[in-house]
Amino acid sequence: MNRRELIAGTAVTSGLLLLKPKTVFGYEANSAVHLALLGCGNRGTSVATSFAKNTSARIVALADLFPDQLEKGKVHFDQLAGSLGYAGVDRNMMFRGYDAFEEVASSNGVDAVQISTPPWFHVQHLDAVVRAGKHAYCEKPMGVDVAQAKQALEIGKRAEGRVSLDVGFQIRSAPPYVEIVRRIHNGALGKIACLSAHYNAPASTYPQRPPMSPDELRLRNWLWDRTLSGDIIVEQDIHVIDICNWILQAHPTKAVATGGRNVLTHFGNTWDNYQVAFTYPENVHVSFYSTQFGNNGWFDVAARAFGSQGIAEAPYSGPLRIIGDQSWTWSDPASTKQSSAPGAFAANGAFTDNLALADREKDRGFIESIVSGKFHNQAALGVESALSAMLGRMAGRLGREVTWEELLEHGDVFSLDINMRQFR
């Protein structure tokens, strides 16, 4: 895709508009979309619950590698369905094991699939869903290495005009962020000189596991594994890097970085801190840092843009505002609860304060795109942000400056080294 396509808006209108009031899948306006959840972990369950509560979608199928996760999901979504007045998930629509993603993608009873598996599997699962002609809501990142990101871009081209493909950057749907970025793009800051951004979070944790094979332990504790997660900069910090791309309407051209594993002692190979200096077009610099350790619950995420006429502050929690010639502060007490204190970390991604409506609005946008036939295609934007995070990771690993072109040609190539066929 060319530069214009990479930075285009997230909604793509196709000729299928001519099919209204029915889409290619035969939906009547406002009818229920049958949604499958692929990956019944904390985040997957949280997002699927939001779909069920805030849209016309119904959770009709579940798929997971592990039977205990699958059963846990059934209990939750059966209770949720009961509270909403319809039947729970039919056991014939529960798919277990490594091949579950293919089974759920090919199911006639499924219209759309929410992909909430560990990041290593995102692109493989997205490929199966799109090939089956199903709509896809894929959690970030769009790949953990350059090869996967390039494949995701090709999948996006195949999806164009056929199905809706959303990527889980829900912050782009949060009303406070939508408004502040709109103002920035309309010139509220004047010429932007630089940005600073950070993502500080407590350590990821898992319960004590019973005896199991090393392969299963890696898969269950995937956040601690660089190959499965992409490392903290690709799996978690990518949200703030995506905000910087959004504000600047571009991706970085080069980066220098440091970081390491200085505090964490549990098994795994993810770093617990990054410090990255990104350079964007027009010599705009972004200073980014991240920490992920400790269990004191302290949490702080924000991006700040500095321009010739003002400063924009965009934190997860606290005043979201512009200071300067066109001063402005977000205020909507009916929909968000703002506080000057740092917000609480949400392991399932369901944050409050400035992100309180992010999931709801993101989910509604996806389902509406299916029902209306105005299909989304966010593959290119998702790939752009994934590659931006990988650029910082590569620069940190090599300890020197890395350009965008070098990343695309010589970026990391990961290998899972697990025989997934053992999980049936």
More confident residue, 334 or 11: 334
Q: Is the dihedral of CA 348, 142, 247, 275 positive or negative?
A: positive
What pLDDT digit, counting tens, does each position of 203-247 carry?
999 999 999 999 999 999 999 999 999 999 999 999 999 999 999
Is the CB of residue 288 less than 8 Å from the CB of residue 198?
yes
Q: How confident is the model at residue 2 (pLDDT cuts 50, 70, 90)?
A: very low
> How confident is the prediction for the chain on average, in pLDDT?
91
Q: How confident is the model at residue 296 (pLDDT cuts 50, 70, 90)?
A: confident
Residue 9 has pLDDT above 90, yes or no: no
**What pLDDT score was predicted for residue 4?**
38
Report, at the CATH architecture level, how domain 3-170+367-383 is classified: 3-Layer(aba) Sandwich (3.40)
Q: Is the dihedral of CA 97, 98, 99, 104 positive or negative?
A: positive
Predicted TM-score (pTM) of this structure: 0.90
Tell me the CA distances in angstroms from 161 to 23, 133, 329, 384, one per residue in order.
12, 11, 38, 20
What is the rounded CA–CA span in Å between residue 192 and residue 371?
39
Is the CB of residue 301 less than 8 Å from the CB of residue 260?
no
Per DSSP, helices labelled H in 55-138 are: 67-84, 100-105, 122-131
Q: How confident is the model at residue 348 (pLDDT cuts 50, 70, 90)?
A: very low
Instruction: Determine which of 6-10, 97-101, 184-188 has the lowest per-residue pLDDT on average.
Output: 6-10
* Sequence spans of domains, the chain: 3-170+367-383, 172-355+385-406
Which CATH fold would you assign to the domain 172-355+385-406? Answer: Dihydrodipicolinate Reductase; domain 2 (3.30.360)
What pLDDT digit, counting tens, does each position of 24-62 carry?
444 554 479 999 999 999 999 999 999 999 999 999 999
What pLDDT digit, counting tens, does each position of 297-325 carry?
789 999 999 999 999 999 999 999 999 99
Show Cβ contacts of residue 54 under 8 Å, excluding neighbours closer than 6 positions: 359, 360, 363, 364
Residue 341 has pLDDT above 90, yes or no: no
Which one-letter amino acid corresponds to residue 323? I
**What pLDDT score was predicted for residue 333?**
59
